[in-house]
Amino acid sequence: MEVVLKYFSDFTPAQLQQFQQLESVYKEWNEKINVISRKDIDSLYEKHVLHSLAIAAVFNFQPGTQICDLGTGGGFPGIPLAIFFPEVQFHLTDSINKKLKVVNEVASAIGLKNVTTQHTRTEQIVNRKFDFVVSRAVAPLKDLWKWSVPILKAKGQGKPATAFDEPFYGGLICLKGGDLAEEVKESGLSPVVWEIDQLFTEDFYKEKFVMAVKR
């Protein structure tokens, strides 16, 4: 938890409690349903929670914003972001139902009221539109964008976020790692990229990025 407080400190007592509870709840449920590798569970806050919050270090979402977490896995980045932005609605999706079982149990245990889940592939979501889609390295950028476009609100209809004083009117925000040149080239897109090791100094964040594609 200390590594989170190293970079973020403006939490309410309720938020602090929720973040602190994550370790025990995830450890309990990870024993039953493995959603985090055994070697990473002891680094939960550095490798999962703070990594998810890299999005919060770049983007400020307005109250009432609706965000879909595409392929959430064990709840990242959706769960930490939902704690950070309690007035933003997060819809966490995954094609593997047992992972969502853990997500639902974690959200319930820490009292998150702004999280819903859906067992589905993103391309099967109908009759719902979101201001933003977030994701953590579940697929190449070109695929993430292809799946995101149908569920994003039309340009100008969503609630804009602020990214380093720049208004960002909806789109895809993803956490990526490694050499992204070929992936970006294949996508045909022009994403905005922030280096996470410029935000957080831990070695884990070298060659990790927040990447965003505007709607």
Q: Cis bond leading into 77, ω under 30°?
A: yes
| SS3 category, 134 | strand
- Residue 120 DSSP code: S
Strands 208-214 and 192-195, by their bridges, are: antiparallel
Task: Please tell me the distance from the alpha carbon of residue 108 to that of residue 113, in angstroms, as a whole number.
Answer: 8
Query: CB-based contacts of 145: which residues, under 8 Å, 6+ apart?
Result: 172, 187, 189, 213
Task: Please tell me the distance from the alpha carbon of residue 210 to that of residue 51, in angstroms, as a whole number.
Answer: 10
Residues forming the annotated binding site for S-adenosyl-L-methionine?
71, 76, 136
Instruction: Please say whether the beta carbons of 138 and 70 come within 8 A.
Output: yes
Residues forming the annotated binding site?
71, 76, 136
